[in-house]
Amino acid sequence: MSKAVITITDADFETEVLKAEQPVLVYFWASWCGPCQLMAPMINSAASTYSDRLKVVKMEIDPNPDTVKRYQVEGVPALRLIQGEKLLESTEGVIGKEKLLSLLAKHLDTN
């Protein structure tokens, strides 16, 4: 079963991310951000590739300043891999699919 990326807001963050059973990849994006459009398919691909071990959510930065500030998102696209209250990984800017997958593989049991 492939899982879709869930769109969340500041209000959903605690429930969807901090209280999730699995690690959560949070994808910060903006509608005006060209590079974000390029990364979207890769984020969707990660969601289906790791659907059994990873939750993937996306958050538009402009309407959600609290979470953006809390995770010090300086530019978009940005990724934060979070488990419970713990920040496992953090990237800013466009990254390639290989880098994304190796970043995730470090934290997910990929056997």
- The residues assigned a catalytic role are 33, 36
Q: What is the Cα–Cα distance from 65 to 77, expressed in whole angstroms?
A: 15
Sequence length of the chain is 111
